[in-house]
Amino acid sequence: MAFIIDDIALSPIKLTIWLAKKLKESAFNEMTDDSKVLEELLMLQMKLEMEEITEDDYTQKETLLMERLEEIRNLKKGENHGS
């Protein structure tokens, strides 16, 4: 009987902890989703080929996207080592 009362009394705290873990997991998954960066790289390449941007613009934007991609991969690598 005491266990049931404890479970009822602690359920709001357990729910809050569970929700916080799910939000953290969701945020991490969104931060480490490299598909958007890869899509931007592809679009950038297409713009260059269609001469919508200059070579210099392409190089600058590509560098930024590659840095973001590297950050994402480092985050993923860090999570794998931390688990």
**What is 4-49 written as a DSSP string?**
HHHHHHHHHHHHHHHHHHHHHHHHHHHHT-THHHHHHHHHHHHHHH
Write out pLDDT tens, residues 28-47.
888 889 999 999 999 999 99
Residues 48, 26 within the same domain? no
Q: Would you mind telling me the total number of residues written for the chain in this entry?
A: 83
Count of CB atoms situated within 10 Å of the CB of 16: 10
Residues 40, 76 within the same domain? yes
Q: Which pLDDT does position 1 carry in this prediction?
A: 54
**Domain enclosing residue 81, as ranges:** 34-83
Residues 27, 38 within the same domain? no
Residues 20, 39 within the same domain? no
| Mean pLDDT of successive 10-residue stretches along the chain, which has 83 residues | 67 87 91 92 97 97 96 86 57
Residues 51, 15 within the same domain? no
Q: How many domains does the chain have?
A: 2
Half-sphere exposure of 53 (CA within 13 A, CB side): 14
